[in-house]
Each structure stands twice: as structure tokens, then as C-alpha cells.
Structure 1
Amino acid sequence: MTDSIVRGHVNMGGSSASPSTSAHGRRMDQDISPANRAEASDSSKTETKRRRVSTGCLTCRRRKVKCDETHPVCSQCQRLAVECIWKDTQQYSNKSIRSCRRACDQCRISKAACSFHDPICTTCERKGIDCTWKLAEKGSTPPPASAPAAGDELARIEPIAPDRPILHDGNVKKLVSIYFFRVYNVSWHGFLHRAAFIQRLHRGQVPRHLLTSVCLASAIVLGLDAEDCKTRLADCHRQISEAIISPTLDLLCTILNIIYCEMAVGRRSALWMLSGMANRVAMAHSLHLPGDDSMPGGETRRRLMWACYCIDIMVTGKQTELASFALDRIAIQLPLDERSFMLRFKATTRIFRLPWQPPSEAERGREGMPAQGVMLFALSHSVLKYLAVAQWEQPDLPGSQFQSCQMDLLAWRDSLNAALECTEENVFTRIEMGQSTAFYALHLRYNWAMATLCTSALQRPSELLNVDWHRQIMAVCQESWLSIADVGDTLLSADPDFVPEDPTRKSCFDSEYTMSMSTHVCKQQFWSY
């Protein structure tokens, strides 16, 4: 009796199993196939090995023996009298943090995947933004920025002394950043692809004359002295004369930037020769014909051609026989919107012709501010040509040149998408994008063109015009003049410190540009807007 009790106690507490348990175990072993048994064994070994690798000391891990994980010296190392080395837990726990710090500043701020390519990563190149690595070395993360930090660059830039070269190492990168934030978006200057240019700059592939013109345009925005600017422009002209033997697209970009600088310092006499030189380079590369369709190269070619066209009609004015390019000879599509150009998205826009037809709903999103600016330049040019014959034409007759110009301008206004309408919400968006001056100029040019057109038509004696038509055009004229002030009020309500930064165009806030009903003043000052 006692022996049976002892044997039962041993069977329950020892390693041997009860008869029922043993039978159940044998049935389980029979149900498990050899393949499943081998897989379970391998899985158990892997889990054991993973636990040993992750928790044992480094000495035992190298010897491939089991460690009892006794700190600071385990029993195995104590028995063999060897050094017991443990991994640095802080070092391994911060591995992901160090990996994050190796990313560029922009990818860390936006929490995007960085390719770690210095000087410009793939993500920044695709987005068309500067790729900096300063914060990655310091290990600090600033708050996200919604716009390029051109304002910060202004505070850190060193003064440009008259005897100091414009391409000073400490200022080149900052001046390039300012160029793309404050010069690039103005009028027809958006022909350089930001990411591609910065990548070429880091590789040392930007010609000296192009880099000099970019930095000089930025220095003018910063308030470079006019006399110092003229001295530096003379050096740029020498570089252009040396490179004109083999004209390239980089040289064309340089000439267009120099035109911007010459207009900024008030030397409009040089525009005629520079514009003719730019047009010849454009013709040499056949930019007015369909060609390269790659991105961003093909879009850069189109934007360069439209920039030459805008400058050409601005310089020649109403004297169409002196223009190098007629609109019907330009067989390329309008520029893409800025987002598609920056992100290298291929899209198709229309070929611009007069009389102009509004785009379809599917085409409206593709024609952004650059395309609208080009079309408005051409429509303004048709208004300027009308001024030459306004005193001989009967404007209230159907099919007159006045009616054609007015219908084109109204069709252009109706074609603007919601993102380009003059509202406070859109103004805030353009300010963040650095496009407030271009947005202001777009609406200002339209209202100025419509006001000038109506003003010139009203110079005819009222007794020769239809009474109802005369009253209607008078109302349109007054509305257009008042809209010029409304555009400025809208921008000032969003940004009280707003000042147009385009030196090629005078501000409507100047006293000399008050409302004038003189046709002569309209002719002389039309292109000042």
C-alpha cells in the first residue's frame, strides 16, 4: 500500500508520465508527420539561437556556448578567467536614430525616405528643392517649413563689396536659393529647372557666365548698388561675347538673365541688341519647332522660346515688322504648370493661336501661371497694335479690331481656373510659394490691358458712337481701372508688407502711375506693367 502511494507520487511529480498521458503523447507523435517534426525542431533551434544572440555576452557568443547572463561577469567567463564583454545597449538602441540623422535635412523634416546621395538625394531632386545636410550633422530637427528659407538666407548672406567677386564661395549657394525664390517666379524667368540646376552646380557643370548671371540677378534683388551692378554687367557682357561663337542653351539662359539685370538698372537701350542676340540663339536651336520631348529638357526649351517671344514683343512694341517671331510661326505648346515642371510630369498643353479659344475643362489644370502669362503677353501685344489704328477705326462696329481684342481678353479671364483667381486664399498660397509678385502682375496686366483698350476707344467723339455701347464701354473702363487698386488691396490685406519685387515692372502704387485717360500715356507706359 505504501509502495503504491510512493510510486504514484513519483509518477505525478517526476519526469515519468502517467499511463494515460504517455498514451496520449504516443498518439500525438503518430499524428505528427516527419516533415512537420523536423520543421518544429528547426523553429525551436532558431528561437533558442535568437535568444542567445540577443541576450548573451559577446564572449560567449563568439565561443558559441550558452551564457547564463550574469552581470557583470557570467559564469562561463569567470570559470575560464577571460574578459566578459557585453554589447553597448545604448549604441544599439540608437541605431535607428543615427540612421535617421544620416538623411538630409529636407527628408528628415518631411519624414520622407532619403537615398543618402550627397550632394542631392533622389527625393529632393524629384521635388525640385535644395538638399542640405547641416542639420543631419547637428542632430537637431527644426519645425517644418512650408516655403524655401530664402528669408533666412538673406539674414546670413555676406555683403558684396565692390572689390569682391560675385562668385564668392560663401554666397554662391545662398544667391542661387534667392534666385529661385524671388527671381525665378517673376514674369518669364522660370526657364531653369531648379533640381537639375542645383545638381549641375554641385557637380561643377554650370558654365561660369550662367552662374554669374544668376548670382547677379539675386544680388540686384538684395539691393546691389547700381554703379557696382553696371561694372559687373560689363564683365558679363565680355563673357557672353567670348561664348557667342558656339551658342548653347546655357548661353541663352545667361542672355535672358542679363536682360533682367539691364532692365533693373534702367539701361533699356541695351535690350534691343540683347533681345536680337537671344532670338538668334533660339533660332539656331530651332526652339520654335517641336523637338525634344524629354523632361525637364523639353520643357526648358519651350520656356526659353516663350521667354524670347515675350521679350521680343515687349522690345518691338507695336512695330510688328521688327519682331523676330510671329505667333503663327511658333509651333510649340504652351508651358506646363509649375508643379508638372518641377516634378517632371509629362503633359500636353495647347498651341496658342489668335483669335483665342478658351480651354476645355480637361485642359484648364495644365495651363498654369507661366502659360497664362505668355497668353496675356500676346493679348496685350494685340491691344498695343490696336492703339496705332484706334483713331481711324469705328470701335462699335461688329468685327472691328476693338471687338476682337476685347473678346480675347474676356475669354482669357473666363479661362482662369480657381487656383488663379484673385482671392485672399490664393494670395496666401502664392505668398508661401514665393509667387506673390507674379500673381500680382498677372491680374494687374489684364486690368491694365482692358483699361487701356477701353480708354483708347473712348477717345473717339461720343456723337460718332452708339449711345448704349458708349455707356457700356465706359462702365467696363471704370471697372478695370478700379480693379487695379482692388488687386493691390487684396494682396495688402494678406501681406501688409507686400512690395512687388520685379524691377522690370513699376508698381501701380507709385504716384506717377495714377489713373490717366490719356492715350499717349497709355502708349508710352503700357509695357511698364
Structure 2
Amino acid sequence: MPPSRRRRTRTGCLTCRARRIKCDEAAAICTQCSRSDLQCLRSRNESLSETTRSRLAFTAKNNDRRLTQAGTKRQRVQRSCVSCKLIKKRCNGERPLCDRCLKKDQPCIYDEETSPDSSRNSIAGDRQIVPSLSRSPFLSPTATVDLPGRIIAQDLCKTFFDEIAPLRCLGFLHRHIFLQHVQNCEDSQEPLLLSVCALATKSIKHRELWEIGCRWARIAQGLVLAEIQDISVHRLMCIVLLYEHATRTSDHRLCFMLSGLASRYTQALSLNLEYDHDMLSTTSLLSPVERESRRRLMWACYIVDTMVACGLNHLQAIDTTTIQIQLPCDDKYFLYKVARITAKVPVCFESTAKFDAPISTENQDTHAFLIRLFLIRDRILRYVHDHTDKEDPWRLMSALADLEHWKESLPPELQFNYDVIVIRKEQSMLSALVSLHVQYHQINCLLFRCTIPSMLFPARAHTGLSRNASMEFLSDSRRGWFDHACAMSAIFKVALEQKPESMEDPAVGFSTYNAIIIKFLYLTNFVPSEERLARLESILPLVDIDLQFLRELHEYHPSVRSTYLAAECLVDEAKLRISQDPTITLSESGNLVGVFNFPTDCISLDHRTNQLSTIAQMRKNLPEMHAPDLASVPLSCGPQSPGEPERLWLWIDGGAERGQSDPASEISDQGPKDMYG
């Protein structure tokens, strides 16, 4: 029996012929049309007329964009609606309402001018503004309602808890309680909700979200300041979150004012004291969550205050000796609403060198250890401003003992090793771990810097410590200053391998800049000139790591742009000058050591703080700023001693010598729009 042959189709349905696929000519409807849910058109003619072909092609191409040009059902949507793009959810592209917006009963707006790939554009890539968001009824600045929808708010709140709450004690909101509140909230104009959503937009790399978040922050700020006399814990939370938002938009003047307002709120609410003596909340009116939330809020305000004040007594509004609350507990206890007792604050203000055992670390995590570092930093800065010229220089060594005790008491889950890094990355806590260890090395650099009078702010010829300490001690301190700067480079190298989870804290950029400048200052001030070129070859790879980390951090956080530009300018100039003259001595402030030695109490703030600090940035280009004191004139204006090597300004002033603009102040007064330029 001869083998059966496959039946060859004679005509096929019109739809399959238009799609140029094989048709099985099944009765009523062919298999291909049934599978693709298309109309199966039949004809007695064996050939298709040109009119029929055109009609089928036009129908397939313009069938609400749900079919491909060949007529098949589209598997990938050409354009998603604005709401789905904002929260990065799958959209089926149905018009006028997609399935998701229909189910959530929210507006569904499509952007007809945006390309299909526009939702994937980031700050680092395409920086074009998406026009549709400004036309959206719930996002338009001229619309009646300019507030986040409930679904968008929930997703932004989750972003806040994953990426921002672990940093600098900002996790004073209970995750599940707050998300439940957002789900049931009917008022989208709630200042705390707007503050959280606005801050969350600064962690998502989309230009349109950045601008929308800035509008939300302005609304929340207006609501808070309109009733500024209404002092409450929730309003204080708004102020702290708005401060963090202002730091990420480089609005330093707003940062300065909000920090003072936050300090006054804490004093009015007496958050520096425990609510009562019932620490475990067994009979207290406050629940464990409320008590812990207030503690974290107080510590967040303290960190804000001490970062702005930079150790200057007349700028710091919160007296550390008046804080009588315990350190924050571990996040897991806060999450499960369990009260726990941690170390009390008065112990932390005393030197741990007086105790036989380190401070108890029971029930503590990253927040508590970071606060302990800021307490040590506060003492060191106060010493620099108030006690460097006194006859009791060795009190600074208690801070060195505290740092050693801090390092020894660090639990295994907070060590910086591979296993902990992997686990913290999965828990969205890697950036907090990186910030913690970078802060430790930064404070060590600050401590050892006190042994170098010419590197202080302001620079001076001698201090009580430099007069009384041995040369061996001073040499070891300067070496420790350099070693901790190199240790930061090792952390940055690991962070580059673990991005983007390690890039969530823009405040690390300031420490990165310090790590760069310390390497060049140590090389040109404390390494013999005949060894400098050889040492430069070993230092440059570390500087390249620092600069690369700062560049990557700038891609995620535009507020780091000024620091990155200053660092890039610094590295290029330093490498050029050192290669031209290995005997050159570089200076950070341009001061000539030994020419003048003004008392610190008659020097302007411009020369008592770091050039990249909040107070220094805030004072740039103030319209009615008073002239600096005569004593604050740069010390390098004096006569140069014979044989004194040439000194350069490694700071932003180096650009002024070449007739360039100041990169550090280039965006200090610009809005977020210019930060992406």
C-alpha cells in the first residue's frame, strides 16, 4: 500500500493568507484563526483581491494595538499606561482602561508621545522628561488633585522601608502599621504620607518621579509650616523626612532651617527623656512600638543636629548630656512589637576606657552602633573647636579607646565580611552596613587629624597635643590617618561589586572625598620627596577606586554631583602637580603653617567647617551675608617663609586660580532640574 501523502491546501482562509501562514481549511473556522482568536474570512476565489488584502492589513495593524501587523494577538504591549509604568507593573494596554487600573478603580492615562522603551530610561541613560506625567490628572501641577494614588503610595512606601529606613535611624515608622494605614487612608493630602512618598522618589532612577516627588515635598512642607505651632510627633517625623529629602536635592538652606525646627520640636515634646520608667511597657500608656518609635525619632533628630553643627557649640541645639533615653533596639524586636532594654545613654557619653568591659551590645543592631559612632564624633569635633589649644591635650585619647571598644564589641552579624555582605544584601541592609563601616574609618581619620595642626579648621601652627606629644606618637597617628583612608577604599571596592544595593546612602560621598584628599595630603606632607613618585604608583589605584565609587554614587544620587566634580578636579590637579614637581607640598585649605595662629573664637564659620559641610554650602551666595571677620582672611595671604615649598589649594579654591567656576557650589542653589543636566 503506497504511503499516504499530506493534503496540500488549495486556497486557505483569507486571514491566514494575509498573515502568510499555512491554513488547514478546517470547517467553519480554521485552527490558526481559532488559536489566535481572529475572524476566519473565507472566499470562493483562489486569489485575494488588492482591496481585500489592504482591508485585512489595515484591520490587523489598527485593532487597538492588540494585534501585530501580521494579525496575531500581541504578546508584548507597545505602550503601558502611566500608572503601571510608575510602579513597574505589567500592563495589558487595553483602552480606555487597562485591566489593572480598572480593577483598582484609578485613572488610566496613556502617553502617546513616549516611545515604548521610555519606561526603562534612567537618570544615567536617557534624561528626557516624559510629558505624560505632567498631563496626568493626579500628577499635574495645575490639577485640583496633585497627590499619589493609593497603589502608587503603597509601592513608594515599600521602597522607603527597603532603601531609606535602614539609614541614620530613619526607620522610626513601623512598616506594617504604616502600610496598613496607607491602605485604609482616605486623605491623600496627609503630610507624613506625602513626605514618605516624596523621599522614596529620590531612590528611583526616573526623572519624572524626581520632579513629582519634589512637588509632593513642597505640599507636605506647606502643610507643616502652615500650622507650625501644632507640635506633634507626626509633624516632627515629617520635618525629619523633609530634611532628608532636602539633602538629596542639595537644598542646603532648607536643611539648615529644618534641622533647627526639628531640634525645637524635640525639646517641646521632651523626647530626650523616656516617657516613664516602665521600659518594657507592661502598664505604660505607650505601646512598645510607640515608645521605640519615639526613641528612634529622637536619635534621628540628634544625628541631623550634630551633622549640621559640625561640633560648634553655638550651632548645636540639642545638648547631648540631656538625652536620657536608651539606644534603639534591634529591628526584629521593633517589627514584632516586642519591648527590649538596650544600653542607656549616660554610659555612652563617658569614656569606655574607665570600664573593665565594653558597653553592652545586647538587643542592638546597626542603628545603635551608628549612634555610638556619632556620639564619639561629637566629642572629637568639640575637642577640635574648644580644647585643641589647652594644656590638657590627652583627653582626646579617650575617644581613641572608645573607637577600639566599639570595634571589639561589634557582633558577628555586623562584621564586614563576605557572608555578612551576602545576607545583608538579601535583607536590603547592605547600604546601611557599608555606611556604618565607612563612618567608623571616617571618624578615625577625624581623630588622627587632630595631631596635624595644619590640617585643622582653621589651620594653625601648633596645638596643645602637638607641643606635648612625642614624635613617635605623632608619626604613628599620621600613619593611622592614612591607613584608615585606605581602609575606606577597600570598602568602596566591595561596594562597587555589590551595586546597586550598596549605593543607597548619598551621605557616603562626603567620606569618599575625604578618603581621596587624605591620600594626597599624606603623600605630599609626610612622605620624603625622593620616595613620592614610587608611593604615588601604589596610591593611584586606591584613588581610582574612590573616584569610581563616587562616580557610581553620583549616577544614583544627583545630590553627590558637587562632591564628585570637586573630587575629579582635585585628582587631576594633584596628579599633574606631583608629576611635575615631586617636592611640592599640597594643602587642603591653602593656609601657610606657622604664619598666623588666630584664636578660633574670632574666625568666621567659613573657615571653621569643611567646605562641603551643610553650613558652608548654606552660606554660599546668600543675598545678605555679612562680610567675614578680618581674622578669617585666608592665612596664605601672609609672607611665605624662605625655603617654604609651594602650597596649593586642593579645595575648590584651586579652580579659582585657573579662572574656573566653583564646582562645589555649582548646584547648591539649583533645583533638581539642573542637577540632571
Question: TM-score normalised by the shorter chain: which range applies?
Answer: 0.5 to 0.7
Tell me, in whole angstroms, the C-alpha distance in 2 between the residues paired with 1:268 and 1:260: 11
Cα pair distance change 1:166/1:522, threshold 3 Å: farther
Checking the alignment, whether the CA contact within 8 Å between 2:486 and 2:515 is kept in structure 1 is no
Corresponding residue number in structure 2 for 1:272: 256
Contiguous gaps of at least 5 residues in structure 1:
1-133, 138-153
**Counterpart selection for 2:183 from 196, 202, 210:** 202
Deviation at 1:274, TM superposition (A): 1.1
Corresponding residue number in structure 2 for 1:260: 244
Checking the alignment, whether the CA contact within 8 Å between 2:259 and 2:304 is kept in structure 1 is yes
Tell me, in whole angstroms, the C-alpha distance in 2 between the residues paired with 1:290 and 1:444: 31
Corresponding residue number in structure 2 for 1:388: 385
Deviation at 1:405, TM superposition (A): 2.1
Residue 506 (structure 1) aligned with residue 509 (structure 2): yes
Residue 467 (structure 1) aligned with residue 471 (structure 2): yes
Segment drifting more, 173-182 vs 312-321:
312-321
Tell me, in whole angstroms, the C-alpha distance in 2 between the residues paired with 1:519 and 1:210: 42
Tell me, in whole angstroms, the C-alpha distance in 2 between the residues paired with 1:438 and 1:502: 8
Tell me, in whole angstroms, the C-alpha distance in 1 between the residues paired with 2:510 and 2:475: 30
**2:506 corresponds to which letter in structure 1?**
P
**Counterpart selection for 1:307 from 284, 300, 316:** 300
Deviation at 1:220, TM superposition (A): 1.3
Residue 369 (structure 1) aligned with residue 353 (structure 2): no
Tell me, in whole angstroms, the C-alpha distance in 2 between the residues paired with 1:368 and 1:349: 10
Checking the alignment, whether the CA contact within 8 Å between 2:343 and 2:361 is kept in structure 1 is no
Corresponding residue number in structure 2 for 1:481: 485
Segment drifting more, 336-345 vs 347-356:
347-356
**Counterpart selection for 1:455 from 444, 449, 453:** 449
**Counterpart selection for 1:351 from 340, 344, 347:** 344
CA RMSD in angstroms, aligned pairs only: 3.4
Tell me, in whole angstroms, the C-alpha distance in 2 between the residues paired with 1:208 and 1:174: 17
Aligned residues: 373
User: What is the aligned-residue identity percentage?
Assistant: 21
Corresponding residue number in structure 2 for 1:58: none
Cα pair distance change 1:203/1:522, threshold 3 Å: same
The TM-score normalised by the length of structure 2 is 0.50
Deviation at 1:467, TM superposition (A): 2.7
**1:318 corresponds to which letter in structure 2?**
G
**Residue aligned with 1:171, SS:** helix
Tell me, in whole angstroms, the C-alpha distance in 2 between the residues paired with 1:224 and 1:366: 38
Q: Deviations over 1:470-517 (max 9, x none)?
A: 232233222211111122223344x25555222344265569944354
Deviation at 1:319, TM superposition (A): 1.5
**1:375 corresponds to which letter in structure 2?**
R
Tell me, in whole angstroms, the C-alpha distance in 1 between the residues paired with 2:318 and 2:427: 32
Cα pair distance change 1:379/1:526, threshold 3 Å: farther
Tell me, in whole angstroms, the C-alpha distance in 2 between the residues paired with 1:372 and 1:527: 23
Deviation at 1:323, TM superposition (A): 2.1
**Residue aligned with 1:457, SS:** coil
Checking the alignment, whether the CA contact within 8 Å between 1:383 and 1:453 is kept in structure 2 is yes
Tell me, in whole angstroms, the C-alpha distance in 1 between the residues paired with 2:481 and 2:608: 13
Cα pair distance change 1:318/1:359, threshold 3 Å: same
Tell me, in whole angstroms, the C-alpha distance in 2 between the residues paired with 1:508 and 1:426: 22
Deviation at 1:393, TM superposition (A): 5.1
Q: Computing the radius of gyration over CA atoms, which structure comes out larger, 1 or 2?
A: 1
Corresponding residue number in structure 1 for 2:133: 161
Tell me, in whole angstroms, the C-alpha distance in 2 between the residues paired with 1:217 and 1:505: 18
Tell me, in whole angstroms, the C-alpha distance in 1 between the residues paired with 2:510 and 2:503: 6
Corresponding residue number in structure 2 for 1:191: 172
**Counterpart selection for 1:413 from 403, 407, 417:** 407
Corresponding residue number in structure 1 for 2:610: 524
Q: Following superposition of structure 1 onto structure 2, how do residues 63-212 of structure 1 map, counting pairs within 5 Å?
A: 161-162=133-134, 164=139, 165-204=146-185, 208-212=190-194
Tell me, in whole angstroms, the C-alpha distance in 2 between the residues paired with 1:403 and 1:383: 10
Contiguous gaps of at least 5 residues in structure 2:
1-99, 104-118, 123-129, 140-145, 282-286, 454-460, 522-586, 590-606, 615-677
Tell me, in whole angstroms, the C-alpha distance in 2 between the residues paired with 1:431 and 1:268: 31
**Residue aligned with 2:610, SS:** helix
**1:180 corresponds to which letter in structure 2?**
F
Checking the alignment, whether the CA contact within 8 Å between 2:172 and 2:293 is kept in structure 1 is yes
Tell me, in whole angstroms, the C-alpha distance in 2 between the residues paired with 1:376 and 1:335: 14
Corresponding residue number in structure 2 for 1:296: 289
Q: Deviations over 1:77-130 (max 9, x none)?
A: xxxxxxxxxxxxxxxxxxxxxxxxxxxxxxxxxxxxxxxxxxxxxxxxxxxxxx
Q: Deviations over 1:46-68 (max 9, x none)?
A: xxxxxxxxxxxxxxxxxxxxxxx
Deviation at 1:270, TM superposition (A): 1.1
Tell me, in whole angstroms, the C-alpha distance in 2 between the residues paired with 1:162 and 1:359: 63
Residue 240 (structure 1) aligned with residue 237 (structure 2): no
Deviation at 1:424, TM superposition (A): 1.2
**2:198 corresponds to which letter in structure 1?**
L
